[in-house]
Structure 1
Amino acid sequence: MGANPPAPKDDDDVIIRATDVTVRFGSKTILENLNLDVRRGEIMGFVGPSGTGKSVLLRTILGLNPKQGGTIEVFGTDYEKASDRERLAIERRWGVLFQHGALFSALNVLENIQVPMREYLDLSPKLMDELARLKIDLVGLAPDAADKYPSELSGGMIKRAALARALALDPDIVFLDEPTSGLDPIGAADFDELIMTLRDTLGLAVYMVTHDLDSLFMACDRIAVLGERKVLVEGPLSTMLEYDHPWVKSYFHGKRARHVVLPDEKSAGSAADTQGSV
């Protein structure tokens, strides 16, 4: 099978465009001629078998991994060719929630959230405190979480604190690497609801690497499946359910997916229940 074809070039809502991206580590090719668009205001989920390059792609977009071919445009600018000043402007417009939170253990929650502010902004300590407390409230943490250290937080609180840090600079897009891993089903569902609420209220784009079927089914506007060194298929959930590929069919129609009901099916079921009760 060949590389997935480039996306159309006339979409003004595209904020990240990867074109013919190739990444190798030594003699091993991880991504080859990969094409992908991420659009303004959408939640896009990335899934695929282990080792197919989901985290590699994320880190390559962020400039943390070198690529051997292709281009990555962020907010219309080729990140690799951008000047230091242009890169700084781009980096201020994104936030990252790394897997397991990656909070600094020696800093409390308030100080962790202020790290991007200290790096990119010139603000007074008082203003940084006020802004950090706003972010704490925004992600649903109690005010007293500000003074707690990562070792004093539950798994769910760590995720929310890390998300607050990702939102510190009021970004246009946030990158989430396995945001619900390690959370119980209720905590994971609450986090999905939080992400959807933030997307709606702040107009965020969300780039989410996840293995959580519930997140893919409930939160994502589009899904991209990585495999065979490229994007195998991308689109809404309905496209995933109809796509004829062994791994995609196994993942979205497997035993763990049986309990998940599509929104349209829920509506149809509710209508049937209503008619039956009349």
Structure 2
Amino acid sequence: MHASSDPATVANKAEREVVLSVRDVRVAFGRNVVLDKLDLDVYRGEILGFVGGSGTGKSVLMRSILRLIPRQKGEIRILGENYDSASEATRIALDMRLGVLFQHGALFSALTVRENIQVPMREYLDLPQKLMDELAELKIDMVGLAPDAADKYPSELSGGMIKRAALARALALDPDLVFLDEPTSGLDPIGAAEFDELIAQLRDTLGLTVYMVTHDLDSLFSVCDRIAVLGQKRVLVDGTIEDMLSFDDEWVQSYFRGKRARMIPQQKQLDAADDRQEGAAT
């Protein structure tokens, strides 16, 4: 049974606002069909983890949604608007409500962190330089970077700092929906956990909706409200971690119950027990 067909889950979804709707999407490169008959909804305020095996097309779907690569079929609706048939003015307005963090940051190497963050501002807004500088400094602080990072170039940043600087740029226009492509890849466990915590905090404080392409099991267990699994060129199942653990599919079970996953639920239980003990002590 598809996890999202559970009556309680369906009722809960019916009450929520869909900010991203993907319907019947097909993407092929020549004769190689990567995605076919793919449907997906993302709801306001959630952190959706999008997972799948290597080469299944996780990043392809994200780039197709953003019109960075063509698709042969399907409809994309963002914030209720058909992204393909919208007027140029409407599409620009929609673009301003989206933020994107690419896997390796994709910062402009010849620009400082401040200047990178200001790229979307210069593209879409007409603001005085002083105001753009103040806004960039605000975003730098928001993602947990030190103020002196503003004048550094990407080559002077650590991997974790690059991720945070790229996130600051993604937040430059105060978006509603943020796309994150493998945000914790290349980070050590401590840095990855801190980045996950940052994403959760920003979601809560800014009211973001987050679409996160990831293979990081820790991220899936710790910050994702819902998970969608890509397989057989479409979304095989979507739902909570509990839905994933009970879904009858060999790859899904291997992914979420495999050797690398076994300690994570146990650690979550230990963390929850610690929280309960601290609460009782206070």
**Interval containing the TM-score (normalised by the shorter chain):** over 0.9
Within 5 Å, which residues of 2 pair with 1:176-215?
176-215=180-219
CA offset at residue 170 of structure 1?
Answer: 0.1
Cα pair distance change 1:146/1:66, threshold 3 Å: same
**Distance in 1 separating the partners of 2:73 and 2:137:** 42
CA offset at residue 264 of structure 1?
Answer: 7.4
Q: 1:71 aligns with which of 61, 65, 75?
A: 75
> Is 1:47 the equivalent of 2:48?
no
> Is 1:29 the equivalent of 2:33?
yes
**Distance in 1 separating the partners of 2:276 and 2:138:** 44
Q: 1:146 aligns with which of 131, 147, 150?
A: 150
Q: 2:61 aligns with which of 54, 57, 74?
A: 57
**Distance in 2 separating the partners of 1:170 and 1:95:** 8
Q: 1:253 aligns with which of 230, 247, 257?
A: 257
| Deviation per residue, 1:248-277 (Å, 9 max, x gap) | 111101111111026873477559989xxx
SS of the equivalent of 1:99 reads coil
**TM-score (norm: length of structure 1):** 0.92
> Is 1:158 the equivalent of 2:162?
yes
> Is 1:226 the equivalent of 2:235?
no
CA offset at residue 11 of structure 1?
Answer: 5.2
What residue identity is the alignment partner of 1:24?
A
**Root mean square deviation, CA, Å:** 2.3
Cα pair distance change 1:271/1:69, threshold 3 Å: closer
SS of the equivalent of 1:217 reads helix
What residue identity is the alignment partner of 2:52?
G
Tell me how many residue pairs correspond in the alignment.
272
Structure 1: which 5+ runs fail to align? none
CA offset at residue 69 of structure 1?
Answer: 1.4
> Is 1:118 the equivalent of 2:118?
no
Correspondence for 2:172: 168
| Deviation per residue, 1:80-117 (Å, 9 max, x gap) | 11111111000000100001101000000000000000
Worse-matched range after superposition: 16-25 or 158-167: 16-25
**Distance in 2 separating the partners of 1:125 and 1:245:** 54
Structure 2: which 5+ runs fail to align? none
What residue identity is the alignment partner of 1:81?
S
CA offset at residue 183 of structure 1?
Answer: 0.4
Correspondence for 2:84: 80
| Deviation per residue, 1:122-152 (Å, 9 max, x gap) | 0000000000000000000000000000000
% identical aligned pairs: 67
Worse-matched range after superposition: 26-35 or 7-16: 7-16
SS of the equivalent of 1:156 reads helix
**Distance in 2 separating the partners of 1:12 and 1:62:** 23
**Distance in 2 separating the partners of 1:138 and 1:269:** 31
**Distance in 1 separating the partners of 2:80 and 2:55:** 29
**TM-score (norm: length of structure 2):** 0.91
SS of the equivalent of 2:67 reads coil
Preserved CA contact (<8 Å) 1:217 1:262? no
**Distance in 1 separating the partners of 2:202 and 2:67:** 25
**Distance in 2 separating the partners of 1:133 and 1:262:** 40
CA offset at residue 25 of structure 1?
Answer: 1.2
CA offset at residue 51 of structure 1?
Answer: 1.2
Stretches of 4+ aligned residues off by more than 3 angstroms: 7-12, 262-274
**Distance in 2 separating the partners of 1:272 and 1:234:** 30
